[in-house]
């Protein structure tokens, strides 16, 4: 079959990666100006690279920066509320291609987007056991507008998405690692005549260490990465408990909670915390960062039981408390803010860049033209993925499938915490952090329709006990047709929207044709 042929195993994923690269790298330097929150992160990245901490900039610095005057930053620190790692990554491209190059300040984010497509295919292949489904998952991410836009602007959220997805993959690998070694340890004990009441504590779980590192990297870009660490920490405990129950351990629940869970904590959390601290190295080794010397000011240093804590760590803690206070209280109105309750329906996508004027003489051939970078997902893919997520909730409740539980954990980690902050000023593009799990959920449903070998559920369960093989074949053929039509329509919609994801100049009427909902203006 196509999905199992040797050439497809390599050519399929490679074609998707090439497609993702083309869609993200074509004309990446346009527009040559700071768009949306690039005004913060690009300039912060460059001052961080030069000073070791994020510095302040003079008035009208955006225009100066775009014009090539990139070293006008000041020595005074700037109060920034996101950790430094994402800005260090942006700075890497600027160091290689020059700070005056809009390609340079976006290239690393674009490459991260391409890597995410490749990583998602690897994860889907492991999760579903099907190269075809892996290619479909990667294809959906490759052509989706939210993923394309977030790969073409120098913001932080694409990095959060990639590192969280790495952690997801590590947790997936740990599942089989833990199950095999638990079974082996229990078998040896039983062969020795000892029936385990609680089972062993497994300390060597390298994939949990890797997950802690990955989630620590995500948290070193934005604090929201810690939600993934917490969610998957709980998930691992649940998986461990169920594994012990299947293995016949009598006290499986107490063993998972009281024996294995503390070990998991020590495997994941310290490495995540150390990674987070390490990302602030520039702040620690310099003296100019915001609040860097706070504890050395008279009256600020801690007293009592915590007076022994080194002054730089006291200053760092004060800084983090101030940043947290900002995060939970920011309610500054913004024309493109989007309530998290509306994210799954894509009611208010973010306009990153828009220019409308009489530009006909400059290329579009019409009297009124527009250029836009709008963070709107492919509507066909996004709404289908939302419906799939709702179905997966039902399916988990009914069938208790581990693949569904893992996918929904990723979705919950990236989405549900935002429901605690409905009054905050937040944006639709934050959804990039959990979009891979939406697409994995959609791919799961596609696998059910295809009935492909290695799909999540066998044909017999999908259609019920069917004695008539001809009827089963008709059902499978109908599923294949539905999937092919869906993928073709999704691809055509991406072609239609691509100019609005890349700032291409179009007739103003063309831009208007993409306003499918009044709130998309």
pLDDT digits (tens, 9 = 90+) for 319-368: 999 999 998 888 888 999 999 999 999 999 999 999 987 654 456 777 88
**273: closest CA among 207, 184, 334, 213?**
213
Instruction: Give the pLDDT confidence of 134-143 residue by residue, as tens digits.
Output: 999 999 999 9
Q: State the chain's mean pLDDT as an integer.
A: 93
Question: In this predicted model, what pLDDT tens digit does every residue of 274-296 receive, in sequence order?
Answer: 999 999 999 999 999 999 999 99
CA proximity to 148, closest of 430, 342, 378: 378
With b meaning 16 or more CB within 10 Å and e meaning fewer, what string describes 56-85? ebeeebbeebbeeebeebeeebbebbbbbb
- Report the alpha-carbon distance of residue 24 to residue 151 in Å, rounded: 6
Tell me the backbone φ, ψ of residue 425, rounded to 5 degrees: -85, 100
Q: What is the pLDDT of residues 32-82, one digit of tens each?
A: 999 999 999 999 999 999 999 999 999 999 999 999 999 999 999 999 999
338: left (phi over 0), alpha (psi -120 to 50) or beta: beta
Q: Which pLDDT belongs to residue 474?
A: 83
Determine the average pLDDT of the residues in 152-157: 98
Closest CA to 235 of 398, 405, 395: 405
* Phi, psi of 350, rounded to the nearest 5 degrees: -90, 125
- Under the banding of pLDDT at 50, 70 and 90, the label for residue 459 is very low
Helices (H) then strands (E): counts for the chain: 20, 3
Tokens encoding 93: 């491209």
């Amino acid at each position: 079959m196509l999905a199992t042929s040797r050439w497809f195993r390599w050519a399929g994923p490679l074609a998707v990666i090439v497609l993702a690269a083309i869609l993200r790298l074509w004309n990446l330097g346009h527009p040559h100006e700071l768009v949306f929150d690039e005004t913060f992160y690009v300039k912060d990245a460059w001052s961080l690279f030069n000073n070791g901490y994020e510095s302040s900039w003079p008035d009208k610095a955006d225009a100066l920066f775009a014009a090539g005057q990139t070293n006008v930053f000041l020595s005074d620190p700037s109060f920034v509320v996101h950790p430094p790692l994402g800005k260090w990554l942006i700075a890497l491209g600027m160091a290689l291609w020059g700070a005056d190059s809009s390609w340079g300040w976006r290239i690393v984010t674009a490459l991260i987007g391409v890597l995410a497509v490749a990583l998602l295919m690897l994860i889907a292949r492991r999760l579903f056991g099907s190269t075809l489904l892996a290619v479909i998952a990667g294809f959906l991410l490759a052509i989706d507008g939210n993923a394309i836009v977030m790969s073409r602007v120098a913001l932080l959220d694409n990095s959060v998405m990639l590192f969280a997805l790495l952690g997801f993959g590590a947790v997936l690998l740990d599942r089989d690692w833990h199950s095999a070694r638990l079974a082996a340890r229990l078998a040896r004990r039983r062969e020795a005549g000892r029936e385990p009441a609680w089972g062993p504590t497994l300390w060597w779980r390298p994939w949990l260490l890797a997950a802690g590192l990955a989630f620590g990297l995500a948290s070193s870009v934005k604090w929201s990465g810690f939600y993934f660490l917490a969610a998957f920490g709980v998930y691992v405990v649940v998986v461990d408990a169920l594994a012990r129950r299947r293995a016949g351990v009598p006290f499986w629940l107490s063993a998972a909670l009281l024996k294995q869970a503390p070990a998991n904590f020590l495997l994941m959390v310290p490495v995540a915390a150390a990674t987070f601290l390490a990302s602030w190295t520039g702040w620690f080794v310099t003296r100019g960062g915001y609040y860097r010397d706070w504890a050395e000011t008279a009256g600020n240093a801690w007293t009592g039981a915590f007076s022994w804590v080194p002054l730089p760590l006291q200053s760092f803690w004060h800084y983090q408390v101030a940043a947290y206070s900002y995060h939970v209280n920011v309610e500054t109105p913004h024309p493109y803010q989007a309530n998290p309750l509306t994210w799954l329906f894509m009611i208010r996508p973010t306009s990153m860049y828009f220019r409308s004027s009489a530009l006909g003489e400059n290329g579009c051939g019409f009297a009124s033209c527009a250029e836009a970078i709008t963070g709107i997902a492919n509507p066909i893919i996004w709404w289908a993925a939302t419906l799939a997520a709702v179905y997966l909730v039902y399916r988990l409740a009914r069938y208790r499938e581990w693949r569904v539980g893992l996918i929904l954990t990723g979705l919950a980690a990236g989405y549900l915490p935002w429901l605690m902050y409905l009054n905050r000023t937040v944006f639709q593009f934050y959804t990039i952090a959990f979009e891979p799990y939406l697409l994995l959920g959609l791919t799961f449903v596609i696998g059910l329709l295809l009935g492909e070998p290695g799909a999540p559920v066998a044909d017999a369960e999908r259609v019920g006990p069917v004695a008539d093989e001809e009827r089963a074949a008709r059902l499978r053929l109908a599923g294949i047709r539905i999937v092919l039509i869906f993928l073709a329509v999704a691809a055509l919609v991406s072609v239609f929207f691509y100019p609005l994801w890349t700032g291409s100049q179009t007739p103003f009427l063309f831009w208007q044709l993409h306003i499918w909902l009044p709130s998309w203006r």
